[in-house]
Structure 1
Amino acid sequence: MPLSDHAELRAFAAVLRHGSFTRAAAQLGVSPSALSQTLRRLEDRLGQRLLHRTTRSVAPTEAGARLAARLLPALEEIEAALRDLRASGEEPAGRLRINATRLAMPFLAGMLPGFLAAHPRIRVEIVPEDSLVDIVRGGFDAGIRLGEVLEGDMIAVPIGGPLRMLVLGAPAYLERAGTPAHPRDLLRHPCAGLTMPTDHSPYRWEFEKDGESLRVAVEGPLVCNIAAVRLAFARAGLGLTFAFEQEAAADLASGALVAVLPEWTPPFPGLHLYYPSRRLMPPALRAFIAAARADARAARPRG
């Protein structure tokens, strides 16, 4: 139905509800003469007279009454639906789908309980996935990934502090095989590697020191993007692996693993919450972004 049809039908319904061109015109925000012209266009297009007009009153014709019997309930349903939609736009509600790297799970575990308690009408669905996905095509409201892998057309909000990768090995392994003094020495060690989240090609371990940057294509008996599996490989003394410092925190604290070449792995920008557009952003997503920012600020070290 063309928009002009909808406007004419709304005008017809308003006249019937108010029984007056003047009052109906005031409700619609138009002049009585403009309203009269709108209704004449509708009658001309339908080839039916819909209203009996006098100087004092207006009433539907038989054709107008038949149209009104079906039109008025339908318009009331439409207007109720629009009112509900506007109301939901004022209070955060509905389903929120977030596609997030597993690296973001500790952050989400910390913020979600408070967020859900504050917004009981929001239902959050978290889909853990390390591969970089098209969140628009996948039907997601937002995603959480490392900032360096995001497309340039996404709006990205940092939600965590810097991250750091570490080369890790068991003390017994390093005593037996020797401790690498330079990233190129890793080529002489069996390593548990991982793949790129974008195309699943082998990830070359990245290093930087004093302006020198290099990538090392390590080799070994294991490739796995699950950090727990790679860390188990290293704990068993089978070789070295590469993992985020936070993933290895327990092993580092216990001494089960030690960092190798830490001077070659400086921190880099961490997790970002990203979404396609600020235009007509759902209130649930707006509330989630605000909560994520607040949680990230609260977790940031002072000073």
Structure 2
Amino acid sequence: MAIKIEMLRCFHAVADHGSLTGAADALGRTPSAVSMMLRQFEDHVGAPLFESTRKSRLTPLGALIRDEAARALMHHARTIDAIEALAQARAGHVRLSCTPSVAQMIMPRVLRDFIKARPGVRIDMRDADSDAVRRHLIEGRADIGLATLPILPGFRRELLFSDAYGVICPAGHPLSRTQGGVGWHDLDGAAFIANGLCAQITDPDFQPVLAASNLMLRNTASILGMVRAGAGVTVLPRMALPLDFTDLVFLPLAGTQTRREVWMVTPGPGGLSPAAEALAAAIRAADMNLPV
């Protein structure tokens, strides 16, 4: 017969209280039930653990086993707490992959509130372009992806928000003085910096502008740095331009309905841990209002 955790619990309670009656009161059991469990434990050990039937004094072996029982019971309690914390999303590890604009504009307040509510959950967030986010999901390196993503077999896709594209140029650039919005024709002859999201723009009038570009960048910080340096202009969603960039301007595009769509993509039913499910729910509930 294997030693059961209840045997250790009964033995430890009797050793602590010095009597069957005291142990029974502490455990919420009858003295006879505690006595039977203790007898089974001693039979398994093969030696007496108490010096008398009054259970007031431990044998030398009993004293040694009491210390081991205390450690085992403490470990068992910690294990149960950890299991319950994981099941109730009070603990766990969530891997999040998202585009830089979402990482900068949406996730700070989401994660601030989430971590405050669930301090036992560890978050690993990496920012990457949409193609890299897709790879992270497919390769199992991300639990939640937030990006402009296609339908992926075996994954769930939920639209979070969409925002308009616009031209980003330095303050004082000739385009910044254009009245009534910038059209694709206004970019003819301009040094244009292509980026990964340009592939999402299918307007025919944009294709010559894209084809004429001799610089492709995929990192948002690098793109904005090149624009600030005067290397060219680019097209990005409104959210990609932080509000504190006073030396850059966002010019709405005229004559196009194209918008960037940001989706939350997660594994199919049963594919998320409770902690990841809780974070996904927090993202769904977040205020997605974009800067004007």
Matches of 1:128 and 1:16, distance apart in 2:
53
RMSD: 5.6
Compared CA separation, residues 97 and 232, structure 1 to 2 (3 A): closer
What is the rounded CA distance, in whole Å, between the counterparts of 2:156 and 2:25 in structure 1? 43
TM-score (norm 1): 0.56
Structure 1: which 5+ runs fail to align?
197-202
The Cα of 1:192 is off from its aligned counterpart by 2.9
Show CA shifts across 1:55-86 (max 9, x none).
Answer: xx334334223322x22542564377469769
- Report what 1:146 is aligned to: 147
Alignment length, in residue pairs? 267
- Which residue number corresponds to residue 161 of structure 2? 161
Relative distance call for 1:3 and 1:45 in structure 2 (3 A) is: closer
Counterparts in 2 of 1:121 and 1:240: CA distance versus 1, 3 Å: closer
Is the counterpart of residue 222 in structure 1 residue 215 in structure 2?
Answer: yes
Residue equivalent to 1:19? 18
CA contact (8 A) 1:235 1:256 kept: no
Aligned-partner Cα distance in 2 for 1:31–1:292:
51
- Listed as ranges, the matches of 1:91-110 within 5 Å are 99-104=97-102, 105-110=104-109
Q: Hey, what does 1:74 align to over in structure 2?
A: 71
Structure 2: gaps spanning 5 or more residues: none
Q: For 2:224 and 2:290, locate their aligned partners in 1 and report how far apart those are by CA, in whole Å.
A: 27
Give CA deviations for 1:236-259 in whole Å, capped at 9, x if unaligned. 8877644213325879x9877562
Matched, 1:259 2:238: no
Structure 2 counterpart of 1:204: 199
Query: Quick check: 1:18–1:24 contact (8 Å CA) kept in 2?
Result: yes
Check the 8 A contact 1:166/1:242 in 2, yes or no. yes
- Do the aligned partners of residues 262 and 248 (structure 1) sit closer, same or farther apart at CA in structure 2, a change above 3 Å counting? farther
1:272 is matched with 264
TM-score by length of 2: 0.58
Q: Contact between 2:50 and 2:62, CA under 8 Å: does it hold in 1?
A: yes
Q: Distance in 2 between matches of 1:111 and 1:150?
A: 25
**Structure 1's 291 and 61: CA in aligned 2 closer, same or farther, altered over 3 A?**
same
What's the offset of the Cα at 1:11?
A: 2.5
Aligned equivalent of 2:275: 281
Cross-structure match for 2:287: 296
Q: Separation in 2 of the partners of 1:221 and 1:110?
A: 37
From the superposition, tell whether residues 248 and 191 of structure 1 become closer, same or farther in structure 2 (CA, over 3 Å): same
Q: Is the 8 A contact 1:189 1:240 kept in 2?
A: yes
Identity across aligned pairs (percent)? 20
Distance 1:278 1:248 in 2: 32
The code of the aligned residue for 2:61 comes to: A
Which residue, 63, 66, 72 being the options, matches 1:65?
63
CA contact (8 A) 2:98 2:147 kept: no
Separation of aligned partners in 2, 1:149 and 1:16: 64
Following the alignment from structure 2 to structure 1, what is the Cα–Cα distance between the partners of residues 59 and 250?
89
Q: Which amino acid aligns with 1:45?
A: H
- Cα shift readout 1:134-159 (whole Å, capped 9, x = no counterpart): 59976x8x64512635866667776x
